[in-house]
Each structure stands twice: as C-alpha cells, then as structure tokens.
Amino acid sequence: MINSTQVSYFTLSAYFDTGSLKYLYFMIVMSLYIVIIIVNASLIVVICMHRSLHEPMYIFLCSLFMNELYGSTGLFPFLLIQILSDVHTVSAPVCFLQMYCIHTYAGVQYLNLAVMSYDRYVAICYPLHYNTLMTSSKIAMFIALTWLYPLIACIVIIYLNSHSQLCGNIINKVYCDSHSVVKLACSYHIVVNIYGLIASFGTIFIVLVFILYTYMKILKVCFSGSKQTRQKAVSTCTPHLASIFNFTVGASFEMIQSRFNMSSLPKIMRIFLSLYFLTCQPLFNPVMYGLNLSKIRVTCKSLMSYVGS
C-alpha cells in the first residue's frame, strides 16, 4: 500500500508516440491556444472599454470569457510541454494544481451560465422591473458566488484526494482529473465519493434544473407575447442556449469516459472527447456571442474601423 504522500509523480498513459508528427500537433495546439487568448481577451477589453456594454448581460459575459482564459491556461501550457516530451510524467503538486484549475473552470462555467439564464429570464419575463431586480449589488453578488463556490468546493476535493492512500500512479488521461486519482485509491474512500457526489449534484443537476426552469418560463412568455418579444428572446437566448448545450455535451463526454470502459473507441477519439469541453468551449462562446449579439458585433466593427483608419 502506497501512501499519497509517497507518490511524487503521476504517469499520463493516454499519450502515444507520434514521432515527428509531435511538432505538427504542437503547432496546432499552440495556434488554438493563441486564438483562444486573442478572441477572449479582445472581447473582455471591448466590454470593459465601452460604457454601452456595461449592462448585466455583458458583465456576465465578461466573467465567462475570463473563466475561459483561466481554464485554457490551466490546460494548454501543460499539453504543449507534454506533446514535446518523451516521458509523460507530472509531479504530484503540479497534477493536483491542474486538477484544481480544470474542476474550478467547469464549476464556474456552469454557474456563470445559470446566472446568465436568470438574467435573460428577468429581462424577458419582467422587462419593466429589470433595472430594479438586476442592481449593481446583486450583479456583484452573483459573480462572487459564481467564482467563490467552485474555488472553495474544489479545495476540499483536492485536499481529500491528496490525502488518500494510493496504490498506483498511472492516470489514463492526457491531463490530471479528480476521478482518475480516486480510481487509484487502495480502498473505497467513502468521504471522497460522498463529497464528490454532493458537489457534482449541487453544481450540475441543480444548476441544470434551474436553467431548464428559466427557459420554460421564457418560452411561455414568448409564445404568449408579441412578435417583438419573440425576436428579442431569439436574438439574446440563442447563443446562450447553444453555449449551454455545447458545454453540457462536452462535459457529458468527459463524465461518461471517466466512469465507463471506453477502450473500444480509438485512443485519439478518447483523447478528443476528454478535451472537448476544455478546448471547444473557449472558442465556441466568443464566436457565438460575437456573431449573434448585435451590440458586441457593432462595437467590434467600429473598433476595427477606428484601428484601421
């Protein structure tokens, strides 16, 4: 029996020898990371600089883009190092740090999407009371809750995992995650599993039910409202619903793969499925919101015209 304090490193066994192609993979991943940084950072700057975008919806969007920069930074530099490396090992502290970044990113993402659902619900169902319901103090409270709950909850998960008794150090992934370390435990750790279930239930199931409830109310108002109300709902809710769907599908891929034997799938497909919600969401959201929200689109066009002149 090996105590976790004696495990100084973990081996990431999902990597495979790509030969000279590793430089091509490195360039692809590096390009992806650069694009994610540029588009998300640019939209954050646009929202912060223009007072016309200092509204609750755009403030929540700014929080969403900041989280995508945070999650990408927790993954991509690590991936780039591992792609070029011949020995795919990671020290225990770095592994737990990456685990913390990835899990907090996922938690903040889901809570941020839930807060944005509530914002759209108030804007469409109670338009006359929007400014009184969505005050500056309430917006600050929502953003603080969105970030603080996952940051605190994941500290507990990392603490429990780092103090578990492990009988191995091989993680069948290209990055570190909590469930992979839990599977290395020498015996069933009831505290870790119960806490993990409670945290997952609170972050995923309750939030998803809340999002579905808000959109049922929005749809009810849309069907009984005017054509203008329906157009407003479609223009502002379409990118949000697409983002929720994209993230939920990607997170589901990862959860299913972590808990069930997917060895029948090709290794490259398993790697893609495990990385989908971490790599596609930070690209998907800026494009989706940038194309569908007219205020952001018009502001970006005017800014580019000003730079070009």
Is residue 298 classed as helix, strand or coil in its secondary structure? helix
Count, residues in the chain: 309
User: Which is higher by pLDDT, 16 or 120?
Assistant: 120
153: Cβ contacts below 8 Å, ≥ 6 apart: 107, 199, 202, 203
CA 264 – CA 152 distance, rounded (Å): 37
CA 62 – CA 208 distance, rounded (Å): 21
Give Cα separations from 290 to 39, 40, 47 (angstroms). Answer: 10, 10, 11
pTM for this predicted structure: 0.88
Q: Does position 267 have pLDDT exceeding 50, yes or no?
A: yes
Q: Does residue 14 contact residue 267 with C-beta atoms inside 8 Å? A: yes
Q: Does position 4 have pLDDT exceeding 70, yes or no?
A: no
Kindly state the average pLDDT of the residues 91-117.
93
Residue 116: what pLDDT?
Answer: 93
Output phi, psi for 134, to 5 deg: -105, 70
Mean pLDDT of the residues in the chain: 84
- Dihedral angle sign, alpha carbons of residues 157, 162, 165, 170: positive
Residue 189: what pLDDT?
Answer: 65
Query: Domain coordinates of the chain in residue numbers?
Result: 2-308
Q: What is the pLDDT of residues 12-69, one digit of tens each?
A: 988 887 788 889 999 999 999 999 999 999 899 888 888 888 889 899 999 999 999 9
Kindly state the average pLDDT of the residues 138-146.
94
Please list, residue by residue across 184-198, b when 16 or more beta carbons sit within 10 angstroms of its beta carbon and e when fewer do: bbeeebeebeebbee
Q: Does position 264 have pLDDT exceeding 80, yes or no?
A: no
Is residue 49 classed as helix, strand or coil in its secondary structure? helix
Closest CA to 267 of 17, 8, 1: 17
- Give the lowest-confidence range in 17-21, 158-162, 218-222, 288-292: 288-292
Q: Does position 127 have pLDDT exceeding 90, yes or no?
A: no
CA 200 – CA 166 distance, rounded (Å): 23
Q: For residue 91, how many C-alpha atoms fall within 13 Å in the half-sphere facing its CB?
A: 3
294: Cβ contacts below 8 Å, ≥ 6 apart: 235
| Tokens found for residue 26 | 């490195």
Closest CA to 180 of 188, 190, 172: 172
Burial (CB count <10 Å: 0-12, 13-18, 19+), residue 139 = middle
Q: What is the pLDDT of residues 209-252, one digit of tens each?
A: 899 899 888 888 877 777 777 777 777 788 888 888 888 888 88
Provide the CA 258 distance to its chain's centre, in angstroms: 17
| Tokens found for residue 196 | 């993990």
H helix or E strand, kind and range, residue 3: strand 2-3
Q: Does residue 64 contact residue 112 with C-beta atoms inside 8 Å? A: yes
Q: Does residue 75 contact residue 175 with C-beta atoms inside 8 Å? A: yes
Provide the CA 62 distance to its chain's centre, in angstroms: 14
CA 165 – CA 73 distance, rounded (Å): 29
**CATH of 2-308 given 1.20.1070.10, 3.40.50.800, 3.40.640.10, 3.30.420.40:** 1.20.1070.10
Pairing of β 170-171 and β 9-12: parallel
Tokens 């995650």, located at residue? 177
> pLDDT band for position 122 (50/70/90)?
very high
Output phi, psi for 128, to 5 deg: -75, -25
Q: Does residue 191 contact residue 162 with C-beta atoms inside 8 Å? A: no
Q: What is the pLDDT of residues 163-176, one digit of tens each?
A: 878 888 888 889 99
Residue 2: what pLDDT?
Answer: 40
Residue 3: what pLDDT?
Answer: 44
